[in-house]
Amino acid sequence: MGMFSRSMPVTASVADKPIHCLVCGGSEFWDREIKLNTTGMELFDMAWANKSALGLVCASCGYVHEFVGDAVQMWETQ
C-alpha cells in the first residue's frame, strides 16, 4: 500500500471554482484522508473532532490544503 489512494493526481474545485495551490498555484493534487482526532485536536471539544478532513497535497510543491466537510469536488486528471 502506498501513501496515497490514487496513482494519478486530481484536480479539485469548490462551488465550481477550481482550487489552486496557495503556494505555487498548481492545480493538481494528491488526495488523502487526514484524521482529526489527533492529540492536538483533543484540546478542542468540537463536533467534528473525531471526523476526518480531506487533505489535498499539491503535486508540484507538496503544500497540504485541509478541508472539513464535503464541499470539495475532485476529478481524476487522466
Footprint (CB under 5 A) of Zn ion, residues 7-26: 21, 23-24, 26
Site for Zn ion in 26-55 (CB under 5 A): 26
The CA angle 9-12-17, to the nearest 5 degrees, is 155
Q: Does 58 bind Zn ion (CB under 5 A)?
A: yes
Cα–Cα dist 40/43, whole Å: 6
Q: How far is the CB of 48 from Zn ion (least distance, A)?
A: 26
Tell me the site size for Zn ion, rule CB under 5 A.
Answer: 8
List residues binding Zn ion (CB under 5 A): 21, 23-24, 26, 58, 60-61, 63
